A and B are shown apart, each in its own frame.
Chain A
């Protein structure tokens, strides 16, 4: 079990620690909000009433996750209302000098992934387990206010995964074997995004220098390899529940990820 110094609300944070912490928290909050905007755009694919209402609930939840984290960032001296303004007024192309959004949640990248309701269902089934694993680690991080907020977020992310399983089952229930095969073929494109979610391996030539800093500070508490194991176990169990199969040989797409491992954090 790793040990590291923890900090609570009001504690004085070492400057380098604070900088790294703010960078990751901004990345999470900005990306959650942008994620809510993208989910809202997918509403047009909803073919049934319950699907539409469940998706609108998800939009509000993603926004709520951003509000939780921004609220904490405000206490750390970040001008979060400026970030909210930028994202809400430039939903299709927010300025990367002002906010830090995961690449996969930028409109130009996101929209390529979605053509039908089955894609919406599969996103929550195949990519969300990566978010569950990745964000789940923050529940045990060294900044306790953020850890506590992520307990709440993690619970709702699990709910989003349950939504994906429910929606996928409904697709197959109404569309039969033809739809099951159609969905099976669409798993790899989402799995590439899911595998890239938690970053490059912690060892080797392409490893991230920023990861070492986050890990040392206990801001990130799990290595990408551990998160990958968690992700694949979760994904496999959910796909089996639906009657789908986890494809072999899918490679991670790290380009759909980020911004936030950049050597210089964006201005907070």
Chain B
């Protein structure tokens, strides 16, 4: 089947949308909707129910928002990479675009790793906030 450079990007976008990838736009972030696509990553054998966004108290809710904002930043840098990838295919290989693409990839990498660090932060918040609830009930 004949392909195109855009086909690869479309495929990437489709896969990332499963986890809430949001293309750049003016709309305010749908935190609750985005969280629904991400919260499964916080389920463990001990924490089978991960609360919905509206069910969270301010502490984990803030952590969740920071985590999602990191993801949104990664989305923007993902789009930088997309744009340069398209230009390399459209305009041809040249040093300026190759090096620009390299910078964009490095920035995207940092954003993805920051997204991972935010997941660890939120994981810690969930653990501590559960402990607090347990202690207050004891």
Chain A residues within 8 Å of B, Cβ to Cβ: 36-37, 40-41, 43-44, 46, 48-50, 52-54, 56-57, 59-61, 63-64, 67-68, 70-71, 74, 80-81, 84, 88-92, 152, 159
Contact = CB atoms under 8 A, between A and B. Distances in A.
Contact of A52 (B16, B95, B119): B16
A71 B95 CA distance: 7
B21 to A, nearest CB: 9
Contacts of B88: 67, 84
A48 B40 contact: yes
Interface stretch (B24-32, B46-54, B57-65, B100-108): B100-108
A49 B98 contact: no
B93 A81 contact: yes
Interface of B: 1-5, 7-8, 11-12, 15-16, 18-20, 37-38, 40-41, 71, 74, 78, 81, 85, 88-89, 92-95, 97-98, 101-102, 105, 108-109, 112, 115-116, 119
Contacts of A56: 12, 15-16, 78, 112
Nearest 3 pairs of A and B residues by beta carbon = A49-B19, A43-B15, A91-B3
Given A64-B98, A92-B1, 20 more contacts: A50-B115, A52-B15, A52-B16, A52-B19, A53-B16, A53-B78, A54-B116, A56-B78, A57-B105, A59-B8, A60-B81, A60-B101, A61-B109, A67-B88, A67-B101, A68-B102, A84-B88, A84-B89, A89-B3, A90-B2
A70 B19 contact: no
A181 B78 CA distance: 35
Contacts of B102: 64, 68, 152
B86 to A, nearest CB: 11
Contacts of A84: 88-89, 92-93
Nearest to B74: A53
10 contacts: A40-B8, A40-B11, A43-B12, A48-B41, A49-B41, A50-B115, A54-B116, A60-B108, A64-B98, A88-B89
A74 B93 contact: yes
A59 B78 CA distance: 11
A91 B98 CA distance: 21
Given A53-B115, A91-B7, A67 B92 contact: no
